[in-house]
Amino acid sequence: MLAVTATAHAAGPVYDSPEGGFAFVAPKNWQIFKQPVEQYPVLFGPADDSDSPYVVITEVRAEGDLFALGDATLKDMLKDPSNELSLRDAFHTADGRVGIKYVLKASMPNTEYRQVFYFVEGPGTRQFCFMATMADASWKKYDMDLDNMMKTYHLRPGTAPPVNFDEPPSPTEPKSVPSPAAAAAQLAPRPEGK
């Protein structure tokens, strides 16, 4: 069983996962609940007229970097003609690692919604996907809160070497972390099949 500690913080509850090797600060007024079918506890935002947004965290076991993982995940989802990619962007976590964010606009009968995917590195070769789902009408209301949450994401002490953009990655570091300029280059549109 995974242990996650939720403690009070001025911005919101602190989500601390020793087994996952990461921690972050959830948005203010969001709650963390253990769900029996999910690997990690789920975050639930405040309910409003349209819905209650939520975030599911999954560990993704895949070969390759976050950009390839994110692109492969979204490529499958975009096979559905009702899904539309509206954003693909890089961001930095609290410990200086590069993450990637995708925003997908989707629809079901009588409902339009947004799914926001944040892919981040975990300890060692582990990778995580934070998937937020909410009604399209409330997306703008929560987008900045979710972005700020991901900016507080960090690996727990002792789970990975610190990132230093001024020095090349050490041979013991499991993955290199691209600089902001390199991350932007990786996000440039790619020709089909490359």
Q: Taking all residues of the chain, what is their mean pLDDT, rounded to a whole number? A: 77
194/184 Cα distance (integer angstroms): 17
Report DSSP letters for 121-150, one per residue.
E-STT-EEEEEEEEEGGGHHHHHHHHHHHH
The residue whose two tokens read 């993955």 is: 175
The residue whose two tokens read 């076991």 is: 61
* Mean pLDDT of all residues in 144-159: 89
- Percent of the chain beyond pLDDT 90? 28
Show the domains of the chain with their CATH numbers: 5-186 (3.40.1000.10)
Quick one: pLDDT at residue 158? 66
Tens of pLDDT, residues 31-89: 998 888 888 999 999 887 667 899 999 998 767 778 888 888 878 888 888 888 888 88
φ, ψ (nearest 5 deg) of residue 126: -75, 145
Q: Which two tokens stand for residue 164?
A: 């230093």
Q: Is residue 30's pLDDT more than 70?
A: yes
The residue whose two tokens read 């703008």 is: 140
Q: Is residue 136's pLDDT more than 70?
A: yes
Contact 124, 160 (CB under 8 A): yes
- Percent of the chain beyond pLDDT 70? 74
Of 7 and 97, more confident = 97
